Amino acid sequence: ANSDISLNDLYHTIHRVVSGLMEAKNFYIALWDREHNTLMLPYFVDEKDEYDGQPYPAATGLTEHVLRTGQSQLIDDNNHERLIQTGVVSLIGPRSKIWLGVPLKNNEETFGVIVVQSYEDRDIYTEQEKQFLEFVSGQIAAAIRRKQAEAERARLTVKLEQHVSMLQAILFSTPDFFHIYDLNGRFLFVSDSAADVLGLTSADMI
């Protein structure tokens, strides 16, 4: 997380590390946009299901069940059926033999879920695998939040640079006399048109 890698590379690294310690052939990370109540799966690997890469409304699937409760869920196909019959969750996507989801939290606020599942073996995940994912989920959550913040800073920096370039283009080309000066009256910026009247350059006036 502290290395100079992208957020997408971080997701791949998380999957690789988890796969080295437990079965994670079917693995995804879901992030929740609380404001719009949508889910995004920035990393998704699955044998049977497909994902188009677009945010979708949070509904009543197992992933949302973890988000609502803020608790890890280890659910085999029998328990899944009982949850469906009692209206706690709905069936979304192919039915797995066993499903394990652990919340990703930031200061006790759940913002995502890390999930592994198996379509073949209901005994492949036990309380031990659940405890392992719970143990690493805090580190994973912190790493994702850190990389998200870095990506947002980079996006805002590019946006700011675009605005500055546009403002400079306007100010340098305006025929109006335009000055910016500080509280001591020292020029910080002088338009070329204003400097030309005095037979000086902008740099001379500053």
Residue 171 structure tokens: 């100010």
Q: What is the pLDDT confidence band of residue 205, given thresholds at 50, 70 and 90?
A: confident
Q: Give the Cα separation of 20 and 2 in Å (integer).
A: 21
- Is residue 113 within 8 Å of 101, Cβ to Cβ? yes
pLDDT tens per residue, range 109-143? 899 999 999 999 999 999 999 998 998 888 888 77
What integer pLDDT is reported at residue 1 of this predicted model? 62
Residue 38 structure tokens: 């949508």
What integer pLDDT is reported at residue 2 of this predicted model? 66
Q: Kindly list the distances between the CA atom of residue 163 and the CA atoms of 51, 67, 158, 192, in Å, as whole numbers in the listed order.
A: 36, 38, 9, 20
Mean pLDDT over 94-103 rounds to: 94
Over the chain, what is the mean pLDDT?
A: 87
User: Tell me, what DSSP letter sits at residue 95?
Assistant: P
Q: What is the pLDDT confidence band of residue 196, given thresholds at 50, 70 and 90?
A: confident
* Residue 92 confidence (pLDDT) above 90: no
Query: Of all residues in the chain, what percent are helix, strand and coil, respectively (each to 5)?
Result: 40, 25, 35
